[in-house]
A and B are shown apart, each in its own frame.
Chain A
Amino acid sequence: MQIPGFGEVGSTGLVGAIGLSMSPAAIAWKIALTVLAASIVMALLRFIPRAEV
């Protein structure tokens, strides 16, 4: 199935990863998305001005 902006989704795709699918690819997606989310948070935190001592 095609979703605009998300491309092909399914058991190996984004929706499969967010959903309950536990195929190896879906597990890999879950991990990758977790890392991505953590990386985004870390990057945003680094923009917060802080005195360098």
Chain B
Amino acid sequence: MDVNDTKAPTFVEDVSHEENKVLRIYFQLTSYLNGIMAWVAGIALISMIALIVFNAIKRLFSDPFSGTVEVVGWLAAITATFSLGYAQLHKAHVYIDLLFEKFPEMLQKIVYTIMVAGSVIFFTLVVYYLFQHGLLMKRNGTLSETLQFLFYPFILLCSFGFVGLVLSLIKDLIDCWR
């Protein structure tokens, strides 16, 4: 996976050396963290395939693995949420720039900043509420239906996946004004 394809930034002259350093660390951290999470997502995706295929073949000869649906669901959640930041770094989400392109450059920057800042606030809320949900599952000792397994760590991991998205969005915000 092209973990390092989001290059470290080149800095404009009016940014001080110290600011450069902080930004450089932030950009690299965002890039590496999302890269690592993308690796985990990829491994989860391949594991999902392996489990489903193994289970389908196994059921031809004996009883299937009863927890397949649950485990696949957890792996799917990791696959999805751990790709969020990585996808944002690659601008993978669908948007319409039909009207936006016609705006003057400064207005584009302002509108873009408002949109990204709004997204940062919203997805920070998602991180918070998902994390709280995970903690609630932990406190209640909620077990999965089939495997009777404490699955709250997966919810906490999903909320961490959204952290990757928030970090990428903040990077976009900084990028817009550099």
Our verdict on whether A and B bind, yes or no, reads no
Binding site for B on A (CB under 8 A): none
